[in-house]
Amino acid sequence: MVEPINEAGEKSGDTVIALVDDDRNILTTVSIALQSEGYVTRVYSDGETALKALLDNPPDLALFDIKMPKMDGMELLRRVREHSDLPVIFLTSKDDEADEEAGLELGADDYIAKPFSLRLLTARVRAILRRADAGSPSGEAEGDETETTSSSITRGKLFMDPARHQVTWGGQPLSLTVTEFLILETLAVRPGVIKSRNQLMDAAYPDDVFVDDRTVDSHIKRMRRKFRQADPDFSAIDTLYGAGYSFTDG
């Protein structure tokens, strides 16, 4: 059976990723890297042009640069979120935690700081797509069949369901990025055991990519902030200076 092909030359079973960045070198480089992994790409050089296309014909995932003319990535994400839960990863050249936090609060699934490894980027894309599949109707059905092989985690007030990428604290749902989820899962699997920053990054980043220690600390800081919005007394993630982090379920 021949799969139907649309006007853009895309087959019905293709995984489509949209790239929105005003840097044509990045568009070309990232597009080639993703195509080599089997993805179909659509590229846009500004947010205004991308917005209509993203809403009229949604891809499976989108990568947004933050700093763009006409409409920046923040505004583009805000407008997309009014109509769609399209998975989005931010690409940012700003070493500014406020921008990263604002993007996550607007509904970005993750962010990657420039300059970035293409191996890291494709690994994060795969992780986000797996999470999106797990949240889809077909993905939920598949998760039900494999429940016994993907155990949930309960530690005091914490509940995690890795198969569905769900987290609650005292019954209140929390929205964690893929990286935050993997870091928390690594800590919660063995309460009280100290995990170094390197161990946490090995768990969160599938490829052998150097990540600065500050990145780990930033993820932990954001996680704590999210948990404290649900519970101002949250203190389950301990910092052991010079050693790493641990999770306390007591």
CATH number at residue 35: 3.40.50.2300
- Give the pLDDT of residue 120: 80
Q: Which domain holds residue 152?
A: 145-247
How confident is the model over 211-231, as a mean pLDDT?
82
Measure the CA–CA gap between 106 and 109, rounded to whole angstroms: 9
In terms of domains, do 129 and 29 share one?
yes
- Give the pLDDT of residue 146: 33
In terms of domains, do 128 and 153 share one?
no
Domain count, the chain: 2
Of the candidates 82, 112, 134, which is a domain's last residue? 134
Identity of the highest mean pLDDT range in 36-45, 104-113, 139-148:
36-45
Mean pLDDT of the chain, nearest integer = 82
Task: Judge whether 129 lies within some domain.
Answer: yes
Among 8-12, 34-38, 193-197, 230-234, the least confident range: 8-12
- Run of H or E including 48: helix 47-56
Percent of the chain residues past pLDDT 70, beyond the cut? 79
In terms of domains, do 124 and 156 share one?
no
Task: Judge whether 50 lies within some domain.
Answer: yes
Dihedral angle sign, alpha carbons of residues 144, 146, 147, 153? negative
Note the pLDDT tens digit of each residue in 143-179. 443 333 358 999 999 999 987 778 999 999 998 877 7
- With bands split at pLDDT 50, 70 and 90, how would you rate the model's confidence at 7? very low
Task: Judge whether 5 lies within some domain.
Answer: no
Of the candidates 107, 134, 161, which is a domain's last residue? 134
Measure the CA–CA gap between 222 and 215, rounded to whole angstroms: 11
Are 121 and 112 contacting, i.e. CB atoms less than 8 angstroms apart?
yes
In terms of domains, do 73 and 152 share one?
no
Task: Judge whether 139 lies within some domain.
Answer: no
